[in-house]
Chains A and B, each alone.
Chain A
Amino acid sequence: MYTIGIDIGSTATKGVVYNGSISGEIIIPTGWDPKSASKTAYESLLKNNDIKENSVKSIIATGYGRVSAEFATRTVTEITCHAYGAFCLNPNIRTVIDIGGQDSKVIRTDKDGRVIDFIMNDKCAAGTGRFLEVMARILELEITDFDNLCANCEAQPISSMCTVFAESEVISLLARGIPRGNIVRGILESIADRMITLVNRLDVAYPVAFTGGLAQSRVLKNIIGQHIGEALYTSPSAQLTGALGGAAMGWHRDN
């Protein structure tokens, strides 16, 4: 028997097959059509892991596109799934910082991985992956280049939180000849600042996990860690946290 969790995010669709532990995973771009992305992810999970549909006892869909996964047994919000996913990765975690493609959130959890309190960013792209994507485009960089490029750079502060204003700010910094590395560092600092503001609105408890696509950035992880005074926990499966939470919830809780 297996359970499946599908996390249909604004940028990527993530899937996990679970049978007490992760036994298969997938990450594909969501593209313009969350419905077909979720279906592709589901079918690929079955095929790649040689699993028959009738041996899947539950499929939990989460993420902004969760309603478009018509084949799902049920839908659960990404808040609840991230909390439980982080708990599966490390049961000691009490706070989860997640930066996704179109929103970011801070979640406080208890010893069983249940949500105690949470906060999400306001309805704008500031402090999200989208903010970083826009900046990467102007700088003609891939987000994965960011860490190496700014490794030994001094941060050039970016004062605008608004993505549109920050875009013109970065353009004028480039015109002034500021090195790209310094700007990148400044952009990461700006995202970290935004996250710290959210973190401070909740009663943060330790240890803190950092999940979502941006958790791959070592530099961002270190900056946020320095601000909250404790190293953040990340996992190579950080991007799969929501999908894992969904799959594991189907396995452990829905019996």
Chain B
Amino acid sequence: MSDIEELIKALSKNRENTISTLQALKGKNRVIVGAYCLFAPYELIAASGALPVSLCGTSEKTITHAEKHLPRNLCPLIKSSYGYAITGTCPYFYYSDLIIGETTCDGKKKMFELLAKITPVHVMNLPQSNRRPEDLDLFRAELVHLKKYLEKNLETAISEKRLRKEIRERNEERKISREFYQLSKLDPPPLPGSTVQHVLHGSGYAFNKAEQNTTLRRLIDTVKTAYANGERATPKKQPRMLITGCPLGDATEKIIRFIEENGGTIVCFENCGGAKDREELVDETLDPMDALAKKYINLGCSCMSPNDNRIQLLSRLMDEYRIDGVVDVILHTCHTYNVETFRIRELVQKEKQKGYLGIETDYSSADEGQLKTRISAFIEMLQ
């Protein structure tokens, strides 16, 4: 397994060389554009010649600082993001010339107003639904608006040719990541869910995409060969779990840990860092702006009302990955995901006749005892 371990290490390591890499890029006058959310279209930012980076927002450490300006009773993701920004502890934020925000929730929308005092923020106005043709028109216009903003601020022109190239490359990246996490369709899966999450999370921070893809390809091949030779990293016959809900990372990885420590195997991540963006590609045959609008408006985010796309994706993933139980992770005060738990519960329990566990949590360790009990009981129920 040592080859596999090394490749995984290489893929998760991206975040360690961050500061020197960013400094070098800055030295070469490369513009860096930070974003918090999948709705900020990577391809469009990249086509402007800027480097798109994901900003930090998954640690408890910065929350106290954020609470100097933000209310206590607010989503930990928003508070952590803001705390990172004002303390200068997120290198990606620190080196960003511009930030692309989006109106995925009221808390974020208002937080961006404060953030703009530190670094220029362009907020994309998202439509509230994705069903009507008008929604698509609205969203496409918003993408055009973003394109003009980037062109003006970066003093560049985004060519159709470059945009098509970025779309193709991003699709390639999606395809190879998808191939990687689809390995978990095997029973038992070849890698623990925590490792899959680690690699997927790490890929969001990779600057050299070509290198990243090559390493990931090697990992997939090595894992497949090892599996074919009978090597198993996870025990047989553990309940197969899917994680859905709010974005996961660092502090909330406690949930992944408790599932694995108590006899569960995570075989699918539906949330933002997992399948949500990677399952649907950008259509390369369409006009690139039309294609981007069509792709991103379809993200099954709870900010959309109704959010049928999440239900459809979940339903399909549950079948494809032969899921025994779904864990729905809600960050404290995330109203949209929280209200949606009702629909998810109905889908999982009534329609699919599988186990459902809803968890409301934050970045602290205060609820670890309770979480362990709930998660263990849930796994005992599925065994």
Contacts and interface: CB of A to CB of B under 8 A. Distances in A.
Contacts of B378: 118
A115 B377 contact: yes
Contacts of B366: 123
B362 to A, nearest CB: 10
A118 B345 CA distance: 12
Interface stretch (A43-51, A72-80, A180-188): A72-80
Interface string B334-376: 0000000000000001000001100010000011011001101
Contact of A77 (B349, B356, B367, B373): B373
B1 interface: no
Interface in B247-293: none
A120 interface: yes
Judged by DSSP, the binding face of B is: helix
A114 B355 CA distance: 13
A77 B376 contact: yes
B380 A79 contact: yes
Contact of B373 (A78, A116, A122): A78
Contacts of B228: none
A131 to B, nearest CB: 16
Contacts of A189: none
Interface residues of B, number: 15
B79 to A, nearest CB: 18
Contacts of B380: 76-77, 79-80, 115
Given A77-B376, A122-B360, A116 B370 contact: no
Contacts of B370: 103, 120, 123
Most A C-beta atoms less than 10 A away, residue of B367, B374, B381: B381
B373 A64 contact: yes
Contacts of A77: 373, 376-377, 380
B52 to A, nearest CB: 37
B360 A118 contact: no
Contacts of B373: 64, 77-79, 120
Nearest to B374: A120
Nearest to B366: A123
Contacts of A78: 373, 377
A38 B347 CA distance: 42
Contacts of B369: 64
A12 B302 CA distance: 43
Given A117-B349, A122-B360, A79 B377 contact: yes
Interface string A76-113: 11111000000000000000000000010000000000
A230 B121 CA distance: 58
A1 to B, nearest CB: 24
Interface residues of A, number: 15
Contacts of B349: 117
A122 B367 CA distance: 9
A115 B380 CA distance: 8
B251 to A, nearest CB: 16
A120 B381 CA distance: 15
Contacts of B355: 117
A79 B376 CA distance: 9
B258 to A, nearest CB: 12
Nearest to A78: B373
Contact of B381 (A64, A103, A118, A123): A118
B375 to A, nearest CB: 9
B264 to A, nearest CB: 13
A114 B374 contact: no
Most A C-beta atoms less than 10 A away, residue of B366, B373, B374: B373
A116 B370 CA distance: 19
A26 B13 CA distance: 54
Nearest to B370: A123
A118 B378 CA distance: 8
B73 to A, nearest CB: 14
A115 B367 contact: no
A118 B377 contact: yes
Contacts of B376: 77
A123 B377 contact: no
Given A64-B373, A78-B373, A114 B381 contact: yes
A80 B377 contact: yes
Interface in B13-30: none
Interface in B169-203: none
Most B C-beta atoms less than 10 A away, residue of A77, A79, A116: A77
Contacts of A76: 380
B381 A80 contact: yes
A115 B381 contact: yes
Contacts of A118: 377-378, 381
A77 B360 CA distance: 19
A93 B374 CA distance: 22
Nearest to A123: B367
Contacts of B377: 77-80, 115, 118
Nearest to B371: A123
B255 to A, nearest CB: 15
Contacts of A80: 377, 380-381
22 contacts: A64-B373, A77-B376, A77-B377, A78-B373, A78-B377, A79-B374, A79-B377, A80-B377, A80-B380, A80-B381, A115-B377, A115-B380, A116-B381, A117-B355, A117-B381, A118-B377, A118-B378, A120-B370, A120-B373, A123-B366, A123-B367, A123-B370
Interface of A: 64, 76-80, 103, 114-118, 120, 122-123
In order of increasing CB-CB distance, the 7 nearest A-B pairs are: A79-B377, A77-B377, A115-B381, A80-B380, A77-B376, A123-B367, A77-B373
Given A76-B380, A77-B380, A114-B381, 19 more contacts: A64-B369, A78-B373, A78-B377, A79-B377, A79-B380, A79-B381, A80-B377, A80-B381, A103-B370, A115-B380, A115-B381, A116-B381, A117-B356, A118-B377, A118-B381, A120-B373, A120-B374, A123-B367, A123-B370
